[in-house]
Chain A
Amino acid sequence: MTTTSEFEPQIVAFCCMHCAYAAADLAGGSRCGYPPSVKIVAVPCTGRVDSLHLLKSLEDGADGVMVAGCLSGRCHFQTGNLYAKQRVEHVRGLLKEIGLEPERLRMINVSAGMGVQFAEHAKEMAEAIAALGPNPLRARRATAPAEVATMEEAS
């Protein structure tokens, strides 16, 4: 990894419990390491991940956000991962308008048996975010604390 001891990217990973969450579990069980700064949030389906969740994660200081869903055509709920893909694209466009790098948000697709691939995706994303540097909003908040937005609106 290229991450430095000064900056360990904090990445929120919304993982579908039917695939990516199990893949992350498998990665751990297989002693296939991935950066501990990847914080996993289990969701019943990536279709449940709202654009607001993605935006608020970055507003609240995450350096990167990953949405990890089932392989194309294998969604437990048929199309949840496809909706998630569209939302990720939409929010990436919005991030560009905001002035944040769209690369801070990405979607991956894995099956429950792809623990190794999940770990690789996580490492690769951590490296990419490390290259981008910290979320500039977090740095500003450190100097001038702002009111922390809640995720209540998205519930």
Chain B
Amino acid sequence: MIVAEQKPLDAVIDLLSGHRKVLAVGCGTCVAVCFAGGKKEVGMLASALRMARGLDDQPLEVDETTVQRQCEAEYIESLAEKIGAYDAVVSLGCGVGVQFLAERFPETRVVPALDTKFMGGPTEAGVWEERCQGCGSCMLGSTGGVCPISRCAKQLMNGPCGGSKDGHCEIDPGIPCAWQLIWERMDKLGRLEELMEIQAPKDWSTSRDGGLRRVVRDDLRLPKADED
């Protein structure tokens, strides 16, 4: 899932400065299950905004709604008929949701209430950890299912580095060394031999350096009429 957390209330209040009537839009998918932007969090933020602005004698009307997914046009279309009634939209979606709302409703200001953190999941109640950086060329098959891109501070292809100590990373003793985990996992799988092969430098052209990335599936696109 995409993991996010709410911005400090002051930051959201600053973003909404000058607005008098806003629509708070939650997202019922990733940010709902990480308790950052679902229906309940929309209620909390809306209530907090109304109270904070009320105490400043600058009342803010905040209506609440939550769509199943902000990152798909079909789900946000339901907002079209009412969005014109608001000065601005405060999105409790991830960065993708905010942008899809802004693209669909170019006449309306859309501001984020969340900081999008990473792709990951819960490791215990109330704790989420990163697991993927979307490098575009997954190498988990050769690292025992442990990702050195997202979990190694140096993103080493041939670890561990000299800073690995007692199974933990030198940058933070609270972080397990990814390459220690990889070694232990490969050992359990009986595939330690594979780690003896030197990995070539990773091809980063599939990662973040080329600007906007796109996935195209021709088999799923709307078919064009046959020419013959």
Contact = CB atoms under 8 A, between A and B. Distances in A.
A94 B39 contact: no
Contacts of B52: 97-99
Interface string B20-54: 00000000000000000001101110111011101
From A98, A100, A144, name the one whose CB has the most chain B CB atoms within 10 angstroms.
A98
Given A98-B9, A144-B59, A146-B59, A154 B51 contact: no
Chain A: interface residue count, which band? 20 to 34
B55 A52 contact: no
B210 interface: no
Contacts of A94: 9, 44, 48
From B42, B44, B46, name the one whose CB has the most chain A CB atoms within 10 angstroms.
B44
A136 interface: yes
A140 B57 contact: yes
A55 B44 CA distance: 7
B40 A154 contact: yes
B87 interface: no
Contacts, number: 60
A77 B81 CA distance: 45
A149 interface: yes
A52 B56 CA distance: 22
Given A55-B44, A97-B52, A98-B48, A153 B10 contact: no
Nearest to A141: B54
Interface residues of B, number: 21
A109 to B, nearest CB: 22
B50 A146 contact: yes
Contact of A147 (B43, B48, B56, B61): B61
B55 A98 contact: yes
A153 B64 CA distance: 10
A56 B40 CA distance: 12
Nearest to A147: B61
A154 B55 contact: no
A149 B48 contact: no
A77 B10 CA distance: 37
A97 B7 CA distance: 12
B106 interface: no
Contact of B43 (A52, A137, A140): A52
B55 A100 contact: yes
B54 A149 contact: no
B32 to A, nearest CB: 13
A153 B47 CA distance: 11
A141 B8 CA distance: 26
Given A98-B9, A146-B50, A51 B44 contact: yes
Interface string A63-97: 00000000000000000000000000000001001
Given A97-B8, A147-B61, A137 B47 contact: no
A58 B61 CA distance: 17
A25 interface: no
A61 B59 CA distance: 15
Q: Please give me the 6 A-B residue pairs with the lowest Cβ-Cβ distance, nearest first.
A: A153-B43, A97-B9, A99-B55, A98-B52, A55-B47, A98-B51
25 contacts: A51-B44, A52-B40, A52-B44, A55-B44, A55-B47, A55-B48, A56-B43, A56-B47, A58-B51, A59-B47, A59-B51, A94-B44, A97-B52, A98-B9, A98-B48, A99-B51, A99-B55, A100-B51, A136-B55, A137-B51, A144-B59, A146-B61, A149-B50, A153-B43, A154-B40
Interface of A: 50-52, 55-56, 58-59, 94, 97-100, 136-137, 140-141, 144, 146-147, 149, 153-154
